[in-house]
Amino acid sequence: MGVTGDEVRHATFTTTGFGTRGYREREVVDFLGRVADTLDGAGDVTAAQVRDVEFRSTLGRGGFAEDEVDALLDRVERELRAREERA
């Protein structure tokens, strides 16, 4: 089974510490909210938008672990691409 809106909505990520780059938390949370809505059938985020999204770095002030966010986005992109191909 593919990734669900609830899974995306409730995803948690390691918060990076001082001196470690991370993605700005608010940007990630806002985008994943749109993604979750799309997976639930109420949004319009495409696989290409997921692939191309760029979050600003926290530049050593903490944030969400980039590799964890990227791993979830990879799964979401595959799910949305599969849905787009079926449509």
List, for residues 21-69, the tens digit of each pLDDT value.
Answer: 999 999 999 999 999 999 999 999 999 999 999 999 997 778 999 999 9
Q: How many domains does the chain have?
A: 1
The Cα–Cα gap between 71 and 85 comes to: 21
Angle at 83 (CA atoms; ends 68, 71), nearest 5 degrees: 10
- Which residues form the domain of 47? 5-85
The pTM of the full predicted model, rounded to 2 decimals, is: 0.94
